[in-house]
Amino acid sequence: MKPHEYFSQVAAENARTAVERPGDLRLAINAIMTLDGFFGSLHAELYEVGLVQERADDQWKEKLARGNKYYRLLRDSAYALKHGRLDDRKPRLVRRPDQIMTMPAGFDAATFDRSAFDTETVWIETDDNDYRATEMIKEVLQFARERLDALTAAYSQRS
């Protein structure tokens, strides 16, 4: 499956459903894992056509994480979910799967949309801040689209 197909058929759809149901932990985890998987697939394609130099996707993902805090949060969350606990010396925002949790949502008077009254929200707890999973997912979805657009532009320049 090419990155465009993976993005539109899997990652973007999982992100959309997670955002629509902000209190569903399963949907949030599906979105996190498939967005992380998208970046792995994108790396493979970019490496194959010579647009990135890093042979290993974790090196390339580290570069991306240094430039985008929401991508870093997503990447660290996915790693913690996959590996159970991250004890390496690399600085991580999320080290354990239990840092991703469903919490009761409070009413946000500044937000008058249907999600303002949701009874639960998936949160990601870090040492410096707590994040709504839906906000992170939306930000990383946009970041992924930008990376995909860059690949499309590179392909069109080669033609």
Rounded Cα distance between 32 and 45, Å, is 20
The CA R_g of the chain, rounded to the nearest whole Å, is 16
> For 76-112, how does the pLDDT look when each residue is reduced to its tens digit (9 = 90+)?
888 887 756 656 666 666 656 566 666 776 545 445 4
Per-residue pLDDT, 145 = 95
* Tokens 């906000």, located at residue: 135
- Give which of 30, 3, 8, 9 is closest to 19, Cα–Cα: 30
DSSP string, 27-49: HHHHHHHHHHHHHHHHHHHHHHT
Nearest C-alpha neighbor of 135 from the set 72, 70, 66, 42: 70
Within 10 angstroms of residue 51's Cβ, the number of other Cβ atoms is 15
Strand-pairing partners, residue 103, are 121
Question: What pLDDT score does 88 carry?
Answer: 67
pTM of the model: 0.82
Q: What confidence tens digit (pLDDT) does each residue in 42-77 have?
A: 999 999 888 889 999 989 999 999 999 999 989 988
